[in-house]
Structure 1
Amino acid sequence: MLDASFFDDTKVLDIAREAIEFNLPIFAANRKLVASENGGLHKPSCLIFNPGWTDKHVENASNRISYPTLSGIQKPKTEEDIAFMSMLELGELIRTKQITSLELVQIFLKRLKRYNPVLKSVITYTDELAYKQAKEADELLAKGVYLGPLHGIPYGLKDIIAVPGYRTTWGSGIFKDQVLNIEAWVYKRLKSAGAVLVAKLVSGSLAYDDIWFGGRTRNPWNIDEFSTGSSAGPAACTSAGMVPFAIGSETAGSITYPAARCGVTALRPTFGMVGRTGVMSIAESLDKLGPFCRSAADCTVVLDTIRGKDPDDLSSRYIYP
């Protein structure tokens, strides 16, 4: 079985019998406990990392992170120029009613569908949801309700993050038709801030590297090369102006590597800063979620929105950076 010459046929059969009788039932039971629901966080294993921080860390929970405020931003003449504006700039265009969320959704969905056949960076378009959320964002603004810099801004999620009614494939052919009717915590946070989901973006198969069931994600700067890292879709789409920002994940390099390769700004936050409910788990003590943006200021805004205690992620905490 293991190509080990010191096992004769009898010993090989004994190993196989014992594996079937003892090992496989234990593996199956453990897998059911830690991975069959909610990506592994429903009933976490005994190995879950809980640093045991005390309640005193909650005292700064309501504090917000400072970021620049912009003024005097004017709408560019071309959609190409609009697509490469920073998230804060786009937010100012929306706030001053120079552009609507619906118009932005149309621009970015058009770009996603135009460039994806080459870049192979999108798994699922969420057109219906995007138009619904954009309409709601525009209606709120018309009533004088402004939710902040993410109000009406389109974005993408790495496809290990669950959104009800849409596939969450984990980038794997085995799960390419999987629909998890779970609202991931990070999706809830972004939705409450008025952000508009336009696409589920490529995750490398089971969140490993940039190869998935639809091919391999290309680097927008040189399509003969690849994005590298499992957050390949968020990195490539942000770099190519297909979304203003995206959410990726990192266990060991899957935010930092593709961001560096694709030339975008990304932030891998402190472990526990962003809740992971509804996200496929690879290593419970290492998994982190973070933003891909065009600037550090944009990353600050997104992180400030998604950070905080997730009641269903035992490792999450209020952390004030």
Structure 2
Amino acid sequence: MEDLALQNQIREHVISIEDSFVNSQEWTLSRSVPELKVGIVGNLSSGKSALVHRYLTGTYVQEESPEGGRFKKEIVVDGQSYLLLIRDEGGPPELQFAAWVDAVVFVFSLEDEISFQTVYNYFLRLCSFRNASEVPMVLVGTQDAISAANPRVIDDSRARKLSTDLKRCTYYETCATYGLNVERVFQDVAQKVVALRKKQQLAIGPCKSLPNSPSHSAVSAASIPSVHINQASNGGGSAFSDYSSSVPSTPSISQRELRIETIAAASTPTPIRKQSKRRSNIFTICATVSNFSSTKRPFQLLPN
């Protein structure tokens, strides 16, 4: 087609249809799959829009989108379906963007020095809003139009040095023109997010089980009488001496203890060896407060 104006109109129309498709709410309206939120950042000469477009549609479009875009695609990670939400950011990362993302892909062009230097500035800005250890990151160097007339400017050693500065993130070189490594970039960043979530779930798992452990369970009723029997008869080392200001001084007596008292009254009492002071469990005290009576009724055990 020789008419360049018509070519551009058709191209823009096709892009508009593709964007409408990937942004349609109806496309995922009835789906209930977990979401993975990935942000794409880089300047206008980085090639990030071409990278995203190639991943979503399988075609190459050279134009960069100044305003960015929002896209979605269903993917599978470790046998589980996820909805990958892609946010192509039109400028430097802001607070809302930093709070939204689960992972970030930093993009620069291997043909452009300024785009390379911009990446680290964007990284520092992101870190001002978010802890870098919480956000998986991937660094991408694009080479969509490298030729003899348009040579590579950023060599491999500089690119890998930058990936080390970005908390040792993974580095890829891609070509949106032919699709080289494009799929791998998004699959890898999605895998990193899923792995981080699993790690976080394992970290909080033991905390959720603490209330069910023996140390947090309520004291059973069967353990309460043993506290009563171990008390000294006449104000000796009471297990409740540390809480005398809020707890009555003498426990109530069970039927078995009453029978022991009646028999003991007719015989010569045998001195009871005082128990050493022992700090009782606060849970036992709470469980037995309601069983205390207002009158003191000492008792003694029968001799063997």
Does TM, scored on the shorter chain, surpass 0.5? Answer: no
For Structure 1 versus Structure 2, the TM-score category normalised by the shorter chain is under 0.3
- TM-score relative to the length of structure 2: 0.26
Higher relative contact order (CA 8 A, sep 6+): 1
The structure number with the bigger radius of gyration is 2
- TM-score relative to the length of structure 1: 0.25
